Every structure is written in C-alpha cells, then in structure tokens.
Amino acid sequence: MMPFSWDSWPRPIIALAPLAGWTDSAYRQTVKKLTDGIVCFSELTSVDALHHKSNGTYRMLDWDPSEFPLIMQLFGKDAPFFVEAGKILEDMGVAGIDINMGCPTCKITSNECGSALLRNPQLAAEIVYHLSRAVSVPVSVKTRLGYERYDEKTFLNFCTGVQDAGAKLLSLHGRTRKQAFSGAADWEPIYLAKSVLKIPIIGNGDIKTVDDAFGRLKTLDGVMIGRATLGDPWLIAEIVAAVRGETYVRPKDIWEKLPVIREHFNLAVEIMGDRVGMNEMRKHLAAYIKGFFGASDHVHGIMQAKSPAEVIAIFDAIEASRERLLARA
C-alpha cells in the first residue's frame, strides 16, 4: 500500500469522525463501501490498556485493508506509552495515528487525558514530539476550542505547539470541553487557526447536510462528520459526490436501505461474533429504522432478539411489507 500523506490526499478532505461505540471496523467498512473518497478515524483506544495488553482493547484495533486510509485514534497521557502503541499501529499498516485531545468525558479528563491536555500544552506537545519521531506514519491531533472557555491566544498557542512538535494535521471541533455537545459549534476560531497554522486543518461540529459541508468548508482543508452519519452513512457518500461535482442517488426508503443494513449487520456479527456483534448493532439498527412506518415494532423486536437469525427474520419482515404494499397498489 502507498504510504498515506495528508498533504497529497485530495481536497477537500471528507472525514468520518471518531465516535466511541459506533465507528468500529464494521461501520467503517460499511461507509467505505458507499464511497472510497473518505478518510475514516477509529474510535479512541487507550495507550495504557495497550501497554497492559488488554485483549478487549486489542480487539478495538481490528481493521480491514478496505478501510485504508484508516487513521487510528489513541488517548493517554504518557509519551512512552504512545510510542509503544504507535509502533503496534504502524506494524498493523494503519495510514496515520491521531491523538485524542478533545474527549470531554470525566472518565478520560480526570485521568489528565483527552481534552485535559488542553490545560497542559507542554505535555500535549511532548506526546506529539515523541510519537511523531517514533513512527513513519503521519501523526495528527483532534481537539476542541478550549477547556473551560475559548481564549484566542491560548487556543492558537496550543495549536501552534502541537504543530511545531510534529503534528501533520489538526481536526478542530468548534466547542470547548465545558460545552461538551451543548449549544452550536463555533467555526470562527477554526478559520482563524487555518489562517495562522501551516498544517492542514479539518473543521468539525454539527454538519448535517451537503449544504452544511459546503457552507462550513471555506478556507479549510476539509470537514469531518460524525453524529449525522449514524443511521445515515449515505450522507457521507452524498457529500463526497457533491464535492467531486457528481450526483449521488440516495436510497429513498427503508427498503432501498435494507441491503446496506443487512451487510453492515453481517459484517458486525462476522467480526465480533454473534453476541457482541448483535449488541453493538442494536443501536445502529434503531438509528437506521427510526422514522419508518411501523419502526417501533421492529426496533422492539431488534432489542429483544436473541440471535442473528431473529434479526434477519425482522429484515425479511420489513422486506415482505414492501411486497405487500406493492401487491395492494
């Protein structure tokens, strides 16, 4: 595989955001099958857990070459653990390594990881410095506008610090740690960072439509989309097609979506096994089916299902409901 570089990946970069509990290999493969023009980020993985050889955490690193260029995201606070984890990822052939400096959850920040690194720019830069010198793949950082509040000077110093330490790209979510996911994302500081920094910048926060993606792009190198793709991975394919000047025909109803949903489900069960695969898929299936006539009965069935065969029977029932409708028409 050709080495990946952020500088040579076509512009604008369209990225699938890392979403813990959602953007596992099965979901990323599903998105990649819909469009090859996307860069996927993995869920965050703990460098401490990798150091302690946790089997569950190793399983989070499962990926398929069809996901290339996959950016695997790590979190932690000890540079030597990042170096150790980085070498594992490099040997696995991932395209790049991203460092999580944005996660707002207490479990992560109370351990001085994730967005807590915004309060410790020196440590943040030190981690980037050591990791980027230990691996040959590009190291990037994903962060927020600030910890308690946005302060222009502090924000720009932080971004410049990780850039000068060796980060090859920054993904910026337009909220502070304190805001978590409340309010609206503020993109102005992201454009400001782009005007000051030399490395490529991806903007992130609240993109829900193709128009949002175009409207937000402005001077940036790319945009990253997360929550709006859940239950709607076609959105990303639609955005990639739009930036390429192509038209994308979205599936117009649940029946047209069903082949992709079935494939996503089969992949999850194949990769994670019946029990874990089914559990991981319940929320995806609820998101896919939401809003469709009769959905609540099917969601209830999916939540109660005890085996993949029971879920497949629900897919078959959804399919049969179309045949009944057509027969009545």
Ligand X SMILES: Cc1cc2nc3c(=O)[nH]c(=O)nc-3n(C[C@H](O)[C@H](O)[C@H](O)COP(=O)(O)O)c2cc1C
The one catalytic residue among 103, 106, 113, 159: 103
Query: Catalytic residue at 103?
Result: yes
| 231 lines the binding site for ligand X (CB under 6 A) | no
Q: Could you identify the residue written with the tokens 């965050």? A: 44
Q: Is 263 left (phi over 0), alpha (psi -120 to 50) or beta?
A: alpha
Q: Could you identify the residue written with the tokens 């239950």? A: 231
| 282 lines the binding site for ligand X (CB under 6 A) | no
| 121 lines the binding site for ligand X (CB under 6 A) | no
Give first-to-last CA distance, the chain, whole Å.
51
Rank residues 207 and 286 by Cβ distance to ligand X and give the closer one. Answer: 207
Identify whether the C-beta of residue 150 lies closer than 8 Å to the C-beta of residue 189.
yes
Question: Rounded to whole angstroms, how far apart are CA atoms 128 and 132?
Answer: 6
Cβ of residue 16: shortest distance to ligand X, in angstroms?
9
Among 28, 32, 142, 257, which residue interacts with ligand X (rule: CB under 6 A)?
Answer: 142
Which stretch, 60-68, 116-124, 154-162, 224-232, contacts ligand X (CB under 6 A)?
224-232
Strands, DSSP E only, in the chain?
13-16, 39-46, 70-75, 96-101, 139-144, 170-173, 201-204, 222-225
| 100 lines the binding site for ligand X (CB under 6 A) | yes
| 130 lines the binding site for ligand X (CB under 6 A) | no
Identify whether the C-beta of residue 40 lies closer than 8 Å to the C-beta of residue 15.
yes
Q: Whose CA is closest to 143, among 104, 107, 179?
A: 104
Among 5, 20, 212, 214, which residue interacts with ligand X (rule: CB under 6 A)?
Answer: 20
Radius of gyration of the chain (CA): 20
How many residues of this chain interact with ligand X, rule: CB under 6 A?
Answer: 21
Cβ of residue 229: shortest distance to ligand X, in angstroms?
8
| 43 lines the binding site for ligand X (CB under 6 A) | yes
| 44 lines the binding site for ligand X (CB under 6 A) | yes
CA distance to 5, 34, 103, 276, 279, per residue, from 100 (Å)? 19, 27, 7, 25, 26
Question: Rounded to whole angstroms, how far apart are CA atoms 285 and 260?
Answer: 11
Residue sitting closest to ligand X (CB): 226
| 46 lines the binding site for ligand X (CB under 6 A) | no
Q: Could you identify the residue written with the tokens 């502070």? A: 176
Among 206, 221, 232, 238, which residue interacts with ligand X (rule: CB under 6 A)?
Answer: 206
Among 113, 207, 213, 289, which residue interacts with ligand X (rule: CB under 6 A)?
Answer: 207
| 287 lines the binding site for ligand X (CB under 6 A) | no
| 227 lines the binding site for ligand X (CB under 6 A) | yes
> Which residues belong to the active site?
103
Binding footprint of ligand X on the chain (CB under 6 A): 17-21, 43-44, 73, 100, 102-103, 142, 173, 204-207, 225-228
